[in-house]
Amino acid sequence: MTAALMGAAVQGPETPELPADLRGRIAFLAAPTEVATAARDRLAALYGDPDPDTAAVVVALGGDGFMLETQHRFLGRNLPTYGMNCGSVGFLMNGYHEENLPQRLQAAQAATLYPLRMTTVAGDGTRQEALAINDVNLLRETRQAAKIRILVDGKERLPELICDGILVSTPAGSTAYNLSAHGPIVPLGANLLPMTPISAFRPRRWRGALLPSEAVVLFEILEPTKRPVAAVADYVEVRDVRSVEVREDRNSRLTLLFDPDHGLSERIIAEQFTV
């Protein structure tokens, strides 16, 4: 886990503007697949191969999972990232085209995202923090269903949820695990965070909630010894937690770049009409 994910958040700059001349300023990062690495080699030969620490923009080659890894790598720096799909799903990616890449980057639309900060407390009082670009989810560790108390801004909202788990997602992440768990898709500018149960047993008809983005959610694990629960922020997992706090971290921002005809807001809207 990198230092940017632990401890205090780093105050990021405002959404950066790209320089007029991008020659030698585009860094290419590839997922560890044959297709992505071959694409990286071709693009680096065409447009240069600077170190990401000196680049003005990063082009991530892979799928959505690799895009998340790339965003985590540059969380404290807010380096604009343009994805090109060399993977499977590619919801956060643009189409792969090698020609006129600097012009595509200059014309791209920026989407600003804010991650969730997860703070866990273990049985011995140990605290751990991590940031999530997609979601924070709690999952049962054994055959026993989890029992979880839910508080929002210090007020008890659900004294006991019996379930396989529960998650809080960002708007960008609302089309990922949240959607698979039958949670609502949230537009980027809605300033809402979906909270969605995973296989809720009691209360059986509770389908979750939409919370304001400034809400602070606290999950308290009931019967933690008998019914242990793990908490996951994207790909960071903490096992046997006693409580988990989730809040949006406005001190950390991420900038994703999308082709004008296929921006992230449009994709989120279109996803709601997919049958």
CATH number, position 216: 2.60.200.30
Given the residues 53, 64, 259, 261, the one annotated as active site: 64
| Cα distance between residue 52 and residue 49, in whole Å | 9
Q: Do 240 and 121 share a domain, yes or no?
A: yes
Sign of CA dihedral 210, 138, 183, 257: positive
Q: What integer is the mean pLDDT of 39-55?
A: 93
Q: Do 77 and 175 share a domain, yes or no?
A: no
- Token pair for 272: 């709601």
Instruction: Collect all residues with Cβ–Cβ distance below 8 Å to 221 and sequence separation of at least 6.
Output: 138, 146, 147, 148, 149, 227, 228, 229, 241, 242, 243, 244
Q: Do 240 and 196 share a domain, yes or no?
A: yes
From the number of C-beta atoms within 10 Å of its C-beta (0-12, 13-18, 19+), residue 240 rates as middle
Q: Do 169 and 202 share a domain, yes or no?
A: yes
For the ranges 56-70, 74-88, 127-141, 240-254, which has the lowest average pLDDT? 74-88
- Report the relative pairing of strands 109-113 and 236-238 from DSSP bridges: unpaired
Q: Do 122 and 107 share a domain, yes or no?
A: no
Q: Do 109 and 122 share a domain, yes or no?
A: no
Q: Has 180 been labeled as part of a binding site?
A: yes
Name 196's bridge partners: 167
pTM: 0.81
Please name the amino acid found at residue 156.
Answer: E
Indicate if 64 belongs to the active site: yes
Strands of the 116-122 sheet, one edge to the other: 127-132, 116-122, 241-248, 216-222, 146-152, 155-163
Q: Has 64 been labeled as part of a binding site?
A: yes
Q: Do 131 and 244 share a domain, yes or no?
A: yes
Q: What is the pLDDT of residues 191-215, one digit of tens each?
A: 899 999 999 999 988 999 999 999 9
pLDDT band (50, 70, 90) for residue 172:
confident
Q: What is the dihedral angle through the alpha carbons of 89, 94, 100, 104, rounded to the nearest 10 degrees?
A: -170
Q: Do 131 and 211 share a domain, yes or no?
A: yes
Q: Do 235 and 265 share a domain, yes or no?
A: no
Q: Has 114 been labeled as part of a binding site?
A: no
Q: Has 49 been labeled as part of a binding site?
A: no
> Are 90 and 60 spatial neighbours (Cβ–Cβ below 8 Å)?
no
For the ranges 141-150, 244-253, 254-263, which has the lowest average pLDDT? 254-263
Domain of 257: which CATH number? 3.40.50.10330
Strands of the 57-62 sheet, one edge to the other: 26-30, 57-62, 81-85, 254-258, 109-113
> Are 264 and 92 spatial neighbours (Cβ–Cβ below 8 Å)?
yes
Domain count, the chain: 2
Q: Do 220 and 140 share a domain, yes or no?
A: yes
Q: Do 190 and 68 share a domain, yes or no?
A: no
Q: Do 38 and 160 share a domain, yes or no?
A: no
pLDDT band (50, 70, 90) for residue 238:
very high
- Per the listing, tokens 């997992």 go with 237
Q: Has 68 been labeled as part of a binding site?
A: no
Domain that holds residue 85: 3-114+253-271
**Terminal Cα-to-Cα distance of the chain (whole angstroms):** 38
Q: What three-state secondary structure class fits 165?
A: strand
Q: What is the pLDDT of residues 119-138, one digit of tens each?
A: 999 989 999 999 999 999 99
Report in angstroms the alpha-carbon separations of 127 from 6, 9, 223. 11, 15, 19
- Token pair for 46: 């065409």
